[in-house]
A and B are shown apart, each in its own frame.
Chain A
Amino acid sequence: MLLHFGADELYAGIGLPEWDSAYGGGLWINRRDPAAGNLFSFQDVLKITKLAHEKEAAVYITFNSPFYPHDSVGPILRFCEKLVALAEIDGLIVSDLNFLIALGKEKLPVKIHLSSLGACTNSESVEYYGFLGVKRIILPRHLNLSEIESIVKKNRLNMEFEVFAVNDGCYFEEGFCQTSHALGPFCMTDWTPEFFPGSGKKIGKEALMKDMERFREFLWYQNNCGCSFQSEGLPNGPCSLCRFGQFRDWGVSAVKIVGREASFYRKMRSLQLVAEVMTEVRRNSTWDAVEALAKKLRNTPQYCEKGYMCYFRET
């Protein structure tokens, strides 16, 4: 279905029996819920890769846990060898530096992508990750447009870049967040802030509650506007569709549709939305024309106007 609707690349997670027996549900093998966001078997990878390659699409498998316990690195590496040799996947998406270094030593004939959890925010990091064998960097959400422009333009001859296109914002920088989605997104926890005495100018309860209201409103947008859809059935949520023209001209290689654990319908509609804007981009349309089309397709001027749906905002 995703190939039919125009995906040039697919990415997926997959579990490992050794992992499940060691950690149960306590730790996830990658950043998403294994039940909803992962493929179930090696056979699935074989089938998907075959189908994708027939359509000249690439397949990437993600091992993007922020860190892997020492004993798990060996089994995951052996599994990656199998994915490369037998399933002929095109790439691995990685964030843990230990795992990245271990992969570099293995010299598998596969492209290594740095997950957004690698939190690459500057050109020197690009050089460092290149030194570790990374061929593509998925830029994190916490950059503004001019920062993306700077990184991509300076490094596009030596590195591929991917940016987020639609879905699933993140209040904290995911690469620095040491909580687990296995317990639900941490930022969505309904905590109560209390002023800590002695830390300075006191803030009253009422002001703190107002802050929390605004914070929760922002989180609502980050959480795909409460996981809602607009009137034509397209998914609401964070996006960068208006900026695809800039991404094209700066040299961004790929745009990412987030949410591999989302429903079939949400994935399909997200892809249709992105594909339509990409068609306009490939016509060499102006930045303004791309933005106008994106806003027209979105058809949620009240949300766009708020600004909270944009991944990459500029002051």
Chain B
Amino acid sequence: MELAFHVRDLKQEISEHILIRHLRSFYPENVPADFGCSSEKIYRLYIGDEFCFHRLPSLKEIREFSRFSQNHTAGLTFLTPPMTDRHLEKCAPLFACLENDCPGAEVVTNDPGVLWHVRKKYPGLRLAAGRLFNKGFKDPRFVWPWDDASMSESMQNALNESTFRHRTFLEHLSSINVRRIEQDILPYGSGISRGLSDMGVSVYFPFGVVTTGRLCQAESRKGKGREKFLIREDCLRPCTHQVLELVHERFQFRLFQNGNTIYYLYPAAVLNTVFTSVEGSFRLVYQGFAL
């Protein structure tokens, strides 16, 4: 099993030991004691962002991450969000730098256009399909209104289904050079796509994604009237020091809002599934450092 850490900058202290301590802030009463990764070695760094263009690193930071990756023989994975034409232009130096300075670097795409673009222009980068490709049922308000026995087999299966569970789609991804899939554990199921035999599989923890968009409540705190709730070309990233928990009696699990995205925290039992059901070749991505 490969362990990866999603980080914002190189000042963050990262190790499995710190991960366990960090995880305790989310699971105060039920902290898993062992993650099955005995080494303190950093296997892989995840940088960038899956949901917001404004949270991408600068070219200088990409260079620093590349150097760190080379010096520590740690793999480097660049997370990318959905983008516009202008964003793709702005990202060109980042992709070029990664391709040149960090052979074997991965790019996780969450937008078919970004995937298509990187595939065409940067063949030296390894492609992964991100979590936004993998649609599934994640509504935190779901309660089957009747007893569980009355839920049809099809409905039970549907709660475990997602885009990556379709072999046809995996074959399609493979045909366009996607070498890895990135996924959450669905909150009402335990299903994980095992990918294809020649495809890497990543599982994120301890958060899954419920929803995201280009409007950002944290950013909308400043400004007046019509300046709020705008799609902006610039942002001071107030989200980097602000995580909110969203509380409502209908929510079946804990929800957190960071910037433009709402996440669910895996219930302890689901988190346990992460460590018991993932196979040796899987990669675990700890995302808690990046919120």
Of A66, A70, A173, which is within 8 A of B213 by CB?
A173
B231 contacts chain A at the CB level, 8 A cutoff: yes
B113 to A186, Cβ gap below 8 A? no
Q: List the B side residues contacting A120 at CB < 8 Å.
A: 112-113
Chain B residues numbered 120-171 whose CB sits less than 8 Å from any CB in chain A: 132-133, 135-142, 144, 151-152, 154-155, 157-158, 161-163, 165-166, 168-169
Is A121 a contact of B228 with CB atoms below 8 Å? Answer: no
| Cα–Cα, bound, A129→B116 (Å) | 10
Scan residues 9-64 of chain A and give those whose CB is less than 8 A from a CB of chain B.
21-24, 26-27
B84 at the interface (CB under 8 A from A): yes
Q: Which of B55-63, B199-207, B235-243, B276-284 contacts A (4 or more CB under 8 A)?
A: B235-243
Residues of B within 8 A of A180 (CB): 137, 139, 142
Which residues of B have CB within 8 Å of A214?
Answer: 220, 228
Which residues of B sit under 8 angstroms from A231, Cβ to Cβ? none
The complex places the Cα of A183 from the Cα of B248 at a distance, in Å, of 14
A128 touching B155 by the CB < 8 A rule? no
Q: A27-B155, A69-B154, A193-B246 are in contact. Are A199 and B291 (CB under 8 A)?
A: yes
Minimum Cβ distance to chain B for residue A63 (Å)? 14
Residue from the list A21, A121, A197, A211 in contact with B217, Cβ < 8 A: A211
Least Cβ–Cβ distance between B191 and chain A, in angstroms: 11
Instruction: Give Cα A137–Cα B142 distance, bound, in whole angstroms.
Output: 31
The answer to whether A250 has its CB under 8 Å from any CB of chain B is no
| Neighbour of A192 across the interface among B154, B227, B246, CB < 8 A | B246
Residue numbers in A under 8 Å from B112 (CB-CB)? 97, 120, 124-125, 128-129
Given known contacts A97-B163, A143-B84, A179 and B257 CB-to-CB distance under 8 angstroms: no
Q: For the complex, is B215 an interface residue (Cβ under 8 Å from A)?
A: yes
Nearest neighbor of B242 in chain A, beta-carbon distance: A200
Measured CA separation A147–B214 after assembly (Å): 13
A286 an interface residue at 8 Å Cβ cutoff?
no
Question: Given B242, B250, B251, which contacts A199 in the complex, CB threshold below 8 Å?
Answer: B242
Main SS at interface, chain B: mixed
Q: Are B161 and A144 in contact (CB under 8 A)?
A: no
Q: Which residues of A contact B172 (CB under 8 A)?
A: 97, 101
Bound-state Cα–Cα, A119 to B84, Å: 11
Q: Is A265 an interface residue (CB 8 A)?
A: no
Residue of B nearest to A126 (CB): B113
Contacting pair B86 A199 (CB below 8 A) = no
Assuming the A-B contacts A26-B158, A98-B168, A208-B244, are A218 and B116 also in contact, with contact meaning beta carbons closer than 8 angstroms in the complex? no
- Cβ of A292 under 8 Å from chain B: no
- Do A23 and B213 touch across chains, with their CB atoms under 8 A apart? no
* Separation of A245 and B161 alpha carbons in the complex (Å): 43
Contact with A along B191-229 (1 / 0, CB 8 A): 000000000000000000111111101001100011111
* B248 near A198: Cβ-Cβ < 8 Å: no
Please, how many angstroms separate the alpha-carbon atoms of A97 and B181 in the complex? 15
Which residues does chain B contribute within 8 Å of A70, judged by CB atoms?
157, 161, 165-166
Min CB–CB distance A50 → chain B (angstroms)? 34
Distance A70 CA – B112 CA, assembled complex (angstroms): 21
Residues in A whose Cβ lies below 8 Å from that of B243: 195-196, 199-200
The docked-state distance in angstroms from the alpha carbon of A45 to that of B240 is 51
> How far is B112's CA from A150's CA once the two chains are assembled, in angstroms?
17
The one of A126, A173, A196 in contact with B245, judged by C-beta atoms closer than 8 angstroms, is A196
CB distance from A159 to the nearest CB of B (A): 13
Cβ-based interface call for B87 (8 A): yes
Chain B residues contacting A171 (CB-CB under 8 Å) are 213, 215
CB–CB A98/B211 < 8 A: no
Residues of A within 8 A of B210 (CB): 177-179, 186
The answer, yes or no, to whether B107 is at the interface (CB within 8 Å) is no
How many Å lie between the Cα of A184 and that of B142 in the bound state? 11
Partner of B161, one of A69, A179, A190: A69
A78 at interface by CB-CB < 8 Å:
no
Question: Which stretch from A254-262, A269-277, A305-313 is at the chain B interface?
Answer: A305-313
A287 within 8 A of B: no
Do the beta carbons of B163 and A96 come within 8 Å of each other? yes
As a 0/1 sequence over residues 231 to 269 of chain B, the CB contacts with chain A under 8 angstroms (1 = contact) are 111000000111111111011000111000010000000
Shortest Cβ distance from residue B80 to the other chain A in the assembled complex, whole angstroms: 12
With A101-B168, A196-B256, A201-B241 already in contact, the answer to whether A122 and B113 are too (CB < 8 A) is yes
B81-104 contact mask (Cβ, 8 Å, vs A): 1 or 0: 011111110000000000000000
Sorted from nearest, which 4 A-B pairs have the closest CB atoms?
A200-B241, A125-B113, A307-B226, A124-B113
Chain A interface residues toward B at CB < 8 A: 21-24, 26-27, 66-67, 69-73, 96-98, 101-102, 119-129, 142-144, 147, 150-151, 154, 170-173, 176-180, 183-184, 186, 189-201, 203, 207-208, 211, 214-215, 218, 305-308, 313, 315
Q: What residues of chain B have their CB less than 8 Å away from a CB belonging to chain A?
A: 25, 82-88, 111-117, 132-133, 135-142, 144, 151-152, 154-155, 157-158, 161-163, 165-166, 168-169, 172, 209-215, 217, 220-221, 225-233, 240-248, 250-251, 255-257, 262, 291
Query: What are 6 sample pairs from A and B whose C-beta atoms fall under 8 A apart?
Result: A22-B152, A73-B166, A125-B111, A191-B248, A199-B243, A215-B217
* Other A-B pairs beyond A315-B231, A315-B233, 14, CB < 8 Å: A67-B163, A69-B154, A123-B85, A123-B113, A124-B88, A173-B212, A176-B211, A177-B210, A179-B141, A180-B137, A207-B221, A215-B217, A215-B220, A315-B232
